[in-house]
Amino acid sequence: MTDSLYSSKSSQVTENLTSNNFESKNQFIEPVVLIRRFAFGIAIATWMVMAIGSATRIMNAGLACPDWPLCYGTILPAEQMSLQVFLEWFHRLVAATTGFATIVLCGASWYFRKSLPKWLPWATSGSLSLVVFQGILGGLTVTQLLRFDIVTAHLGTGLLFFSSLLAIATALSNDQLNNGEMLRSSPKIAWLGLSAAILVYLQSILGALVASQWALHQCFATQDMCIVLNAHLLGVIPATIASIAVVVTAWLNRAIAPLRRVASIAGLLVIAQVAIGYGTYKLHLQVEPLTIAHQATGSALLGTLVCFAVLAFRATHQAENQEQNQAQPAVR
């Protein structure tokens, strides 16, 4: 009987310890999963905001709401509502929602900071700073009557904010990228991915300059602003070569098989972006959905390259840790 009581108590203690370990594990994992999914969701919303912003510009709706942050002095301008007013109003609505969501993301990362990587609260604070600056630039685009440099900075900051969210979500991924392999070539691949992302970002800025100054229309009509247009056309070459180099390198290097899927997506986006850009150029921006797709695909390509670079740097870090663990003598 004593043995049975002892066995019963031992099983209860074991169950309690297992339950406590499970709960403590959940307390560590749940905030990471929450932050990762939330950051990725905000990134998708940001991509939609940029696409809507592109549609707003193409439809000449950038000043459809003459005041800021309200629209005709109200939150919902029902009496003045039209397609152009709706585009500008909806763009502001989704952007504001994204901004408030980023505040929640930053607050959650600081609240759960003991269960999260030390860099995460500071990273989300950086994203919050970008979205605040983005909001200020959004207001200036209206008050300064769509001044081209402010419009360009508005998109450039939005792309940085979008990239930062994807970088955070990707860095929090729990995938083991090395799979026991020593990814000795991953540092070069990581820097190649980062270089491609920077070139695509710069190309996007040139595209924003073309769009904000209507350079394509002016170049074809009066031969003005052709320098800006030609700079954007020439910028396609290095950005495309770098992106293709990422895809080819990822497929030739067997050690980074987990990254091939991301590289494949980047390759498909490059092909789509070049095709859409060519169609946009030949049609002189006359097909609005095609022009919107051009900007949206470029943003998606940038985000994919950022994810690739972060994953490659994570693989490098994991390989270095594995080398250090193998070099340390076993402690008995």
pLDDT the model gives residue 332: 44
Residues 182 and 159 reside in one and the same domain? no
Candidates 156, 249, 155; CA nearest to 198 is 156
Instruction: Classify residue 18: in a domain, yes or no.
Output: no
Q: Domain boundary at 174, 206, 239, which? A: 174
Residues 247 and 284 reside in one and the same domain? yes
User: What confidence category does residue 186 fall into, taking pLDDT thresholds of 50, 70 and 90?
Assistant: low
pLDDT the model gives residue 325: 62
Asked which of 12-16, 215-219, 243-247 is least confident by mean pLDDT, the reply is 12-16
Residues 69 and 169 reside in one and the same domain? yes
Residues 325 and 197 reside in one and the same domain? yes
pLDDT the model gives residue 287: 83
SS3 per-residue string spanning the chain? CHHHHHHHHHHHHHHHHHHHHHHHHHHHHHHHHHHHHHHHHHHHHHHHHHHHHHHHHHCCCCCCCCCCCCECCECCCCCCCCHHHHHHHHHHHHHHHHHHHHHHHHHHHHHCHHHCCCHHHHHHHHHHHHHHHHHHHHHHHHHCCCCHHHHHHHHHHHHHHHHHHHHHHHHCCCCCCCCCCCCCCHHHHHHHHHHHHHHHHHHHHHHHHHHHCCHHHHHHHHCCCHHHHHHHHHHHHHHHHHHHHHHHHHHHCHHHHHHHHHHHHHHHHHHHHHHHHHHHHHCCCCCHHHHHHHHHHHHHHHHHHHHHHHHHHHHHHHHHHHHHHHHCCCCC
Residues 170 and 185 reside in one and the same domain? no
Q: Domain boundary at 146, 174, 202, which? A: 174
User: What confidence category does residue 324 fall into, taking pLDDT thresholds of 50, 70 and 90?
Assistant: low
Residues 200 and 313 reside in one and the same domain? yes
- pLDDT tens, residue by residue, 211-234: 888 888 888 888 888 898 899 999
Candidates 192, 195, 133; CA nearest to 160 is 133
pLDDT the model gives residue 224: 82
Euclidean distance between CA atoms 54 and 151, whole angstroms = 11
pLDDT at 4 over 50: no
Domain count, the chain: 2
Residues 146 and 190 reside in one and the same domain? no
Residues 136 and 187 reside in one and the same domain? no
pLDDT at 54 over 80: yes
Instruction: Classify residue 259: in a domain, yes or no.
Output: yes
* Angle (CA) 136 206 139, round 5°: 15
Please state the rounded mean pLDDT for residues 164-187: 72
Residues 184 and 324 reside in one and the same domain? yes
Residues 234 and 187 reside in one and the same domain? yes
Q: Domain boundary at 141, 174, 207, which? A: 174
308: domain CATH number is 1.20.120
Tokens 């939609």 correspond to 48
Please state the rounded mean pLDDT for residues 7-33: 51
pLDDT at 14 over 50: no
Instruction: Classify residue 73: in a domain, yes or no.
Output: yes
Please state the rounded mean pLDDT for residues 267-291: 89
Residues 146 and 264 reside in one and the same domain? no
Instruction: Classify residue 161: in a domain, yes or no.
Output: yes
Residues 112 and 198 reside in one and the same domain? no
Q: Give the domain extent around 189.
A: 178-332
Instruction: Classify residue 10: in a domain, yes or no.
Output: no
